[in-house]
Chain A
Amino acid sequence: MTLILQALASGVVTGCVYSLIALSLVIVYKSTDVINFAGGEIVMVGGYIGMFALLFLGIPYVLIFVFSALATFALGAAFDRVVLHKVLGRAVPGQSILVAMVIATVGLSYVLKGSARLVPYTEEVRRLPPLFTGEPIFLGSVILQPQDIAIVVIAVAVMLALWCFFAFTLTGKALRATSQNPRAAALVGIPVRTMRMTVWGIASALAAIAGILLAPKLLMTPDMGVIVILAFAAAIIGGFTSLPGCIVGGIVLGVIQNLVGLYVASNAISVAPFIVIMLILALRPQGLLGGRVVAKKV
């Protein structure tokens, strides 16, 4: 019983981070129709920017979240403005624009990975120190590190902030309008192009925060972007277009991984997300929380 509870607890902790990355993928998909295959690399870059800020700029640990989020916001927005805008403008009738957009994000992922390798400090595997150190905390028989609590608190805070942003601010409402119907949004005077850039920026900042949260738990290498597959799985569990779905999906996936590790085999953990993706898509493509799948109208 203790083992199960412990597995559930650590599943929730890692699941929170998956949820953040999944949110970053889904808000991009919802508002720009792009599957962002560079999402994992933005997580990686965000983590490294945080590490460099801590090491060389002497920025206090709490502020590296802000620093890294701002830097990746600029990166994401610039990618949309410079690359995707151009790709979209060159769309050929009769050819799916999806392919060109996805290849462009794959290109970005290679550029980011390649750039990270050029930085001398990435040759060795590194790890950020935990945000909080101290005695582990006992919840009944479950042991949690202070870092785990910090992850959950920060992730939940970021999600709440995101929700407030989309629900209450004018920009957030404009973003939602843009994702529902870009043409109508443009008609009522929403600057659709700026909104796309903003979404890419926000998504990248989310990924960067996830990167810094992961960096003390995972080993940092330029290849750590493969984590994105877990976020894809989380997003699919949630239906790929639902933001609450992402959060549920991330946590469900974190728990599934831990249970698979406990009951099946530890080398099956890495294949669990793929099986989840295929099962969900085969049986319930709209995800656990998604509505009925309808063909998207213009």
Chain B
Amino acid sequence: MFGSPSLARLAPLLLLPAIGLLLPGYLPQYYLYLGNVIMMYAVLAIGLDLLLGWAGQFAFAHIAFFGIGVYGTALLQIKLKLPFILAMPGAALLAGLIGLLIAIPATRLRAVYLALATFAFAEGAQWVFNAWESMTNGADGLRIPAPSLFGHVMGNDPAAFPLVATLLALVLAATMYLTTSKLGRALCAVRESEHAAAASGVDVRGTKVIAFAISAVYAGIAGGMFTLYESFANPEVFGFAQIVLVLSMIVVGGLGSVPGVLIGTVLLGVLPTVMRTTMRDLLVWQELVYGVILILAMMFMPRGIWGFIRRKRRAVRT
């Protein structure tokens, strides 16, 4: 569990870029789009899970950092003419830096206050995306230039798919290192008991601030991934509904576990599509169905699907 992840555990991740290169030849565009969306959400959800599931900090600001990642990546390319390979890490770092600045006052707050402060920050950021028209083009939306990497022009689903898959693999590998590192253990310690963690020599506030910043970097990377396959960014994408979606992915899948978060991401990422095809005339029902799913998940699977599977497996073994 602890120490660096073994090569045997990291090796399966190589499958992702391989699949990413192969699939665009075989799948219709729509499935590639769905794949891109789900992989992007996976990065977003894993980033939020580091903060919520691992460090136990209930924060809503994630979607704002995602927005900073999207607008940052696009604007660094448009305004500063940076190539994508510099623009995306630049935007992710910017998200991380803003995350760090927010975290310093925010980590003084606990539970409900932290949730509300970060909620307010997210809503404020969305307002900025709307109001700063000279940069973001406001509510009309910003046209994202097709990014290119070593001459490979993206901006559509088949072309972006391999890179999106590779980025997901890198993020998963980084998460494996992170969660098995000393910092990963410190995060769990802070979640379980701040007093006990402090007594064992963990710098509680520092750990929280770092968790906040790293989580913001993940969201920034997800923002960069978004610009690979989408050609349009609109402030509506960064609203409360989105943060609820990501939150439900984590909670339905299973807090604090990467496999759980991936399961939740796939399920809730595919759900709107399934509903659109099976409930064609019933679009108005979507919100209702979605709410019922959230409530039922909380009532019957408090540890998410992954927790449920693990408990069943343990029950079979004994």
Chain A residues with CB under 8 Å of chain B are 29, 35, 83, 86-87, 90-92, 94-96, 98-104, 106-115, 117-118, 229, 232-233, 236, 240, 267, 270-271, 273-275, 277-278, 281-282, 285, 293, 295
Interface size class of B (residues with CB under 8 A): 35 or more
The answer, yes or no, to whether B30 is at the interface (CB within 8 Å) is: no
Q: Please name the residue on chain A nearest to B298 by beta carbon.
A: A104
**Chain A contact residues, majority secondary structure:** helix
Q: A114–B290 contact, CB under 8 A?
A: yes
Q: Please name the residue on chain B nearest to A82 by beta carbon.
A: B299
Q: A92–B286 contact, CB under 8 A?
A: no
Interface segment among B36-44, B118-126, B211-219: the answer is: B118-126
Q: A106–B302 contact, CB under 8 A?
A: no
A102 proximity list for chain B (CB < 8 A): 58, 115
- The answer, among B52, B58, B119, B299, for a CB contact under 8 Å with A90, is B299
- Shortest CB-to-CB span from A75 to chain B, Å, is 14
Contact A110 B113, CB 8 Å, known A103-B294, A104-B294:
no
CA distance A115 to B288 in the complex (A): 6
Q: A95–B113 contact, CB under 8 A?
A: no
- Sample 28 A-B pairs with CB under 8 A, ordered by A number: A83-B299, A91-B302, A94-B192, A95-B303, A96-B58, A96-B111, A103-B247, A109-B291, A112-B291, A113-B287, A113-B291, A114-B285, A114-B290, A115-B288, A117-B287, A232-B116, A233-B120, A240-B116, A267-B131, A271-B124, A271-B127, A274-B120, A278-B117, A278-B120, A278-B124, A281-B117, A285-B109, A285-B113
Further pairs besides A29-B112, A94-B192, A113-B287: 15, Cβ < 8 Å: A83-B298, A86-B300, A87-B299, A91-B302, A95-B256, A96-B111, A98-B115, A101-B298, A107-B292, A110-B287, A113-B291, A114-B289, A118-B284, A270-B127, A274-B120
The answer, yes or no, to whether B310 is at the interface (CB within 8 Å) is: no
B287 proximity list for chain A (CB < 8 A): 110-111, 113-114, 117
Q: A35–B116 contact, CB under 8 A?
A: yes
A118 proximity list for chain B (CB < 8 A): 284-285, 288
- Shortest CB-to-CB span from A200 to chain B, Å, is 15
CA distance A49 to B131 in the complex (A): 35
The answer, yes or no, to whether B295 is at the interface (CB within 8 Å) is: yes
A240 proximity list for chain B (CB < 8 A): 112-113, 116
